[in-house]
Structure 1
Amino acid sequence: MSKAEPKARHVAIIMDGNGRWAKKRFLPRAMGHQRGVEAVRRVVKGAREFGLEALTIYAFSTENWRRPEDEVSDLMTLMKRFILSDLAEIAQANVKLRIIGDYKAFKPDVVELIEGALSRTAGNTGTTLAVALNYGSHDEIARAATAAAAKGPITPATIAAELDTADLPPLDLLIRTSGEERLSNFLLWQVAYAEFYFTDVLWPDFTAEHLRAAIDTFEKRERRYGGR
């Protein structure tokens, strides 16, 4: 990283490997998701400590509805438990919760919990935790282009202004765990000039120290934005 280059402000994570973590230990897949929630807690705390302005996590994609019904139900239950058990700590830590994607497609009790959490943290000014729920980048870009067209000429700037992340800092770093190296329909517009960091660590084993290592690697890179 050049001396004039700012430190990371916005980091996104594709949290991958819950199922493989459980399979390696001969545990139910649901246990992998449960341990994955614990990793979220650690990483959110780390994001605050490292001074990130925004942390975006890929929690539930538009494609995840294709998973077995019992697994989708387990994920919804874990999400509700996370909100109920962690909201007070998140709010007290000055973390602002944001949702990207169409969370209103979930059941009414889940929507009610999410909207209560959004309302409770709306005035917070610390790290923004953006959770991608029922999110797919193709859908986001299509919605943004439609909204931009309704207001006037379509340009990159007018589309960007309608994205779910329009009020967040530009994405600096995208992390994917578990050794996979693909984007899986996540933040396709936003990654145009982001740096990528892939790790073999399975998500339930990911810690704040792993996040720090990824940020350290990012901050040693030189970002050229198409220049030399």
Structure 2
Amino acid sequence: MGEHIRGILLFHPRHIASTLLIAFLGREAEKRGETMKGTLLRILAALSCLLISTWANVVPVQDFSLERMAGKWYLVGFATNAQWFVNHKADMKMGTATITPTEGDDLDLSYSNLNADGTCWRMTHLAKKTDTPGRFTFHSQAWNNDNDMRIVDVVYDDYALVHTIKTKEGVSEVLNKLYSRTPEISADLQQKFTQYSIDTGILSDNIAFLPKNAECPEA
């Protein structure tokens, strides 16, 4: 299995640096007489650093329009390697998000999702603008993490692909969300979201398109 993975990395242009790093660490480990476990831990740590560097370089969409981003969206796609998502993805259903620009060019984010028992889950964030259009930051009180959110692809009357780096206690993970103006999404859009998520380090098993759900009543 290890040789198979190395073969994939070797011939994938995006992962040449990772392949070289793995080979280097492997040779260094042999010199030191490290155990396999120690070597794997060093490789995983190094790859984590590479991933974080890749996430940090994600650029928001050009000519981002705050006003055109406003309104109601359906959260139709979700992708992350976070353990909480792995544990609960089978039970997740489509929710809605309402995006409202503020006078200071920040974003009010209001999320809602109807639970199976008829109750409504709601969450709000105030995402603060940065010097880069299309990039916002906020702290989640509910999850106690810092969020660096970037709108990386958008057709304002159709869909938006949002990439967020979530950091808690020094540990970062990426969350990709696919928003749609309607509950339906095309096969092409599903493929676009899937490929983007894989390119940003998400395992294919951790990319989900959420089933339709009834909506919460107006708050």
Q: TM-score, with normalisation over the residues of structure 1?
A: 0.28
Q: TM-score, with normalisation over the residues of structure 2?
A: 0.29
Q: Which has the higher strand share?
A: 2
Higher relative contact order (CA 8 A, sep 6+): 1
> Which protein shows a greater Rg?
2
